[in-house]
Chain A
Amino acid sequence: MARMKFLCDSERCIECNGCVTACKNANETEWGIQRRRVVTLDDGEIGKEVSISVACMHCSDAPCMAVCPTDCFYPTEDGLILHNKDACIGCGYCLYACPFGAPQFPKQGAFGARGKMDKCTFCAGGPESDPVIEQQKYGANRLREGKLPLCAEMCSTKALLAGDAAQVADIFRERVVYRGHRNSAWSSVEHEAAESEQLAQNAADLAYDATQSV
């Protein structure tokens, strides 16, 4: 059984926000709803700036599912955390528990009352048998068509990977090994080299990395 995972390679993400746009386009989400976002840390600091694309991480022990008063979340066979909008009451508890800020709420009611929660479905739709209604409520169900989430498929640098956890991990481990980690990337990098040498090595790795098709 596959276990679906996202992985964002921080060494490759260039903050183009293509994944954000791809997601919005694939799922036709409501105004103000952005299921995926790119966060840049140390923005503008030379040699330190890192960007990561983040959305629902489909946790194994999902905090949203644990705190939901209506228990509207359910895990799928692929290890995804999906939710039933018919049971969602827009209380926002999932947002308070989620570490990744994945749950999004359309502002529909008076006094900032939240509408029904919307989040990344890994392009796997939701609990509706009618595809048209499913599309309207939850967005695309690309998994059913044998496709992966559009954000990852459209990532220009292949920083964002999506798919079976084992395959994603293999691809990433291969990249990490190319970048010079020892022990087949199972241990952390040893910082023996001076910083400038390390950066030069990193640059060389990046150049090589970019030539790889994986």
Chain B
Amino acid sequence: MTAKQSEMSLKACLILLLVALMALPVSASAQQGADARREAFQSMPGTQPDFWRDAAQGVSGRTQSNSPGADTLIMVEGERWREIRNHWISPGGAIALGGSLGAITLFYLLVGQVKLEHPRTGRKIERWTRWDRVIHWYVASLFIILGITGLSILYAKWFLMPILPTSVWGAFMNAAKNIHNYLGPLFALGVLAMIIKWLKHNFFTMTDLKWFAKGGGIIGKAHPSAGYLNGGEKVWYWIIVTVGLTVVVSGLVLDFPNFGQTRETMQLFLIIHAVASLILMAAAFGHIYIGTLGTEGAFEGMKTGYVDESWAKQHHDLWYDAVKEKSKN
């Protein structure tokens, strides 16, 4: 290699270096520009119609709040719950309860009380033991208290609120809510005891089918045969088992909101609880009527535990025969 050649290659290297140095700030600034652009892209949400569509459909995100359901921007189920509660359950319950009362009144006016066909003999037969009556009245009194407080929560704002001063109204409703919440579990225990205690009497038999066929004595003159419990009583028992337990279980879910139930769960169980308890109340009106005003001599059975011989013969002839047979032996 000559000296000239090496000089030229040195020059070329210097030029290259210079070019490289000149190019450096240029490429660095180009890099900076790209970063700023990307940063803007990242920080810029670019809210699109899809975003609002998702939000309106109840999409969940992230939040610092610890409230249940706080990560959901819009909870869409609430509107449907409001609709069901205000437009179906409230009027529906009023129709069910009013209809039940109306039907009973009409029945009483048209048919009247079912009288004893034969005069009382004065001989008494034990129908309900002390335990039976304790359980019955325990559940019955709690049922009435829970019914009144529950109906207050659903309906009282329409008729009590306008006539009470706010402080009295608030105190009444607070008491209603607390009584309802605290007596609920006690009612549950009573219902459970009742279901277990009376299960053995409540299996349907052929006698009950015949009893239903004759409409429990409403159709035709002759009173259909019945054992210790007639078909109607058994139906009431199974209503308590199904509807009653539904009320109890849904009520317990609502009563203890400390197990992390979501708002959607509470909505669902509030609907179940309201519908089931309104059905139970409408049915209970019928039970109360038949057990008191509707049937002569029936109420004393649950009051004293004893019924008159002629009442037993008329309403529960098979049971009467069995008791008679037993006492002979």
Binding site for B on A (CB under 8 A): 10-11, 17, 20, 32, 34, 37-43, 46-50, 52, 54, 63, 66-72, 84, 86-93, 95-101, 104, 107, 111-114, 188-189, 191, 196, 198-200, 202-203, 206-207
Contact = CB atoms under 8 A, between A and B. Distances in A.
A112 B256 contact: yes
Nearest to B171: A86
A42 B61 contact: yes
A45 to B, nearest CB: 10
Given A17-B64, A70-B157, A112-B257, 13 more contacts: A11-B47, A39-B61, A41-B54, A42-B51, A43-B61, A52-B73, A66-B86, A67-B82, A72-B170, A111-B258, A191-B48, A196-B41, A199-B40
Contacts of A189: 49
B154 A39 contact: no
Given A37-B63, A50-B51, A86-B167, A202 B46 contact: yes
B63 A41 contact: no
Contacts of A54: 73
B67 A34 contact: yes
Contacts of A114: 257
B37 interface: yes
A10 B61 contact: no
Contacts of B258: 107, 111-112
Which secondary structure dominates chain B's binding surface?
helix
Interface string B25-51: 000000000000100111111111101
A49 B45 contact: yes
B249 interface: no
Given A47-B44, A96-B263, A203-B41, A89 B72 contact: no
A63 B69 contact: no
Nearest to B80: A97
A208 B241 CA distance: 69
Interface in B130-180: 152-154, 156-157, 161, 166-167, 169-170, 173-174, 176-177
Interface residues of B, number: 60
Contacts of B75: 98-101
A206 B76 CA distance: 31
A180 to B, nearest CB: 12
B66 A50 contact: no
Contacts of A71: 157, 161
B267 interface: yes
A40 B176 CA distance: 40
B62 A202 contact: no
Contacts of B176: 89
Contacts, number: 165
B79 interface: yes
A43 B73 CA distance: 13
A203 B40 contact: yes
Contact of A69 (B54, B70, B156): B156
B55 interface: yes
Interface of B: 37, 40-49, 51, 54-55, 59, 61-67, 69-76, 78-79, 81-82, 85-86, 152-154, 156-157, 161, 166-167, 169-170, 173-174, 176-177, 181, 255-259, 263, 266-267, 270
A99 B70 CA distance: 11
A40 B63 contact: yes
A37 B65 contact: yes
Contacts of A37: 63-65, 67, 70
Nearest to A38: B63
A39 B67 CA distance: 12
A86 B65 contact: no
- Name which of B37, B59, B75 has the most chain A CB atoms within 10 A of its CB: B75
A99 B74 contact: yes
B69 A101 contact: yes
A89 B157 CA distance: 13
A41 B59 contact: yes
A66 B82 contact: yes
B170 A70 contact: yes
Contacts of A191: 48
Contacts of A199: 40-41, 44, 46
B304 to A, nearest CB: 39
A95 B55 contact: no
A90 B170 contact: no
Q: Across the A-B interface, give the 5 residue pairs with the lowest CB-CB distance, nearest first.
A: A112-B258, A203-B40, A37-B65, A41-B61, A87-B170
Nearest to A54: B73
B63 A70 contact: no
Contact of B65 (A34, A41, A49): A34
- Name which of A17, A20, A70, A114 has the most chain B CB atoms within 10 A of its CB: A70
Contacts of A52: 55, 73
B81 A97 contact: yes
A3 to B, nearest CB: 21
A170 B270 CA distance: 42
A207 B170 CA distance: 53
Contact of B78 (A42, A96, A207): A96
A53 B198 CA distance: 58
